[in-house]
Amino acid sequence: MKIPTAATVTDSGSAARAVNGGMPPSENVPHLLQTVIDTPAPRALAEFYRSLLGLRYRDGDAPGADESEEPEWLVLTAHDGNRRLAFQHAPDLPRPQWPAGSPPQMLHLDLTVDSTAALEEQRARALHLGAAVLTDRSADTAEPLIVFADPSGHPFCIFIAPLPIPIADP
């Protein structure tokens, strides 16, 4: 069983439109390499997300014993080497304000777990790593979620979502 992607769906039926935002599959589009987060503290924020998400540093980006200045750019990868997050040094970036205020959030990450127990486990991990709770809707029966601020103030959500339903091979 596999989940269809734009590359695996070849017909012009509803599955192709659902997977590719209503457009037919095409290789003639840009591909998302990574999400970049601006921060005044790239190393600290990379460490936070490395620990929270179980990612690794790209070769050459791991902390060095002689690191005395903030790196300009750091990349975290999945275990297969694919890039996931990058952190760009923005020394004068003010802390984002959420849900209202200035400067507002520009984007946020949605992270999912599959159970209430997992949500509570990840809450404890996030708090231990330096996150702060902004909104707690963990008791919401429709969509239990918690909105956190990472150590640089960027909001991110962890919520309970069902796992994708695999589509059987024809």
Q: What angle do CA 60, 79, 53 make, to 5 degrees?
A: 95
In-domain check, residue 166? yes
- Give me the pLDDT at residue 156, please: 95
In-domain check, residue 77? yes
CA 98 → CA 86, 108, 111, 146, 167, distances in Å?
Answer: 22, 11, 18, 13, 38
- Give me the pLDDT at residue 42, please: 96
- Give me the pLDDT at residue 134, please: 97
Rounded to whole angstroms, how far apart are CA atoms 56 and 50?
Answer: 6
**Mean pLDDT per 10-residue segment, the chain (170 residues):** 40 45 64 92 96 96 85 96 96 91 90 94 97 97 94 95 68
Backbone angles phi, psi at 85, to 5 degrees: -135, 145
In-domain check, residue 51? yes
Give the CATH number of the domain where residue 89 resides: 3.30.720.120
In-domain check, residue 18? no
- Give me the pLDDT at residue 1, please: 41
In-domain check, residue 14? no
In-domain check, residue 7? no
Same domain, 63 and 98: no
- Give me the pLDDT at residue 8, please: 39
- Give me the pLDDT at residue 168, please: 66
Task: Name the residue range of residue 138's domain.
Answer: 94-170
In-domain check, residue 5? no
- Give me the pLDDT at residue 5, please: 41
Domain count, the chain: 2
Same domain, 112 and 43: no
Each residue of 100-117: b (16+ CB within 10 Å) or e? eeeeeeeebbebebeeee
Same domain, 83 and 126: no
In-domain check, residue 4? no
- Give me the pLDDT at residue 119, please: 96
Same domain, 64 and 121: no
Stated as kind and residue range, the H or E segment containing 15 is helix 14-19
Residue ending a domain, among 75, 93, 111, is 93
Give the CATH number of the domain where residue 138 resides: 3.10.180.10
Rounded to whole angstroms, how far apart are CA atoms 60 and 44?
Answer: 16
* Residue 137: DSSP 8-state: E
Neighbours of 70 (CB within 10 A): 16
- The structure's pTM equals 0.74
- Give me the pLDDT at residue 21, please: 55
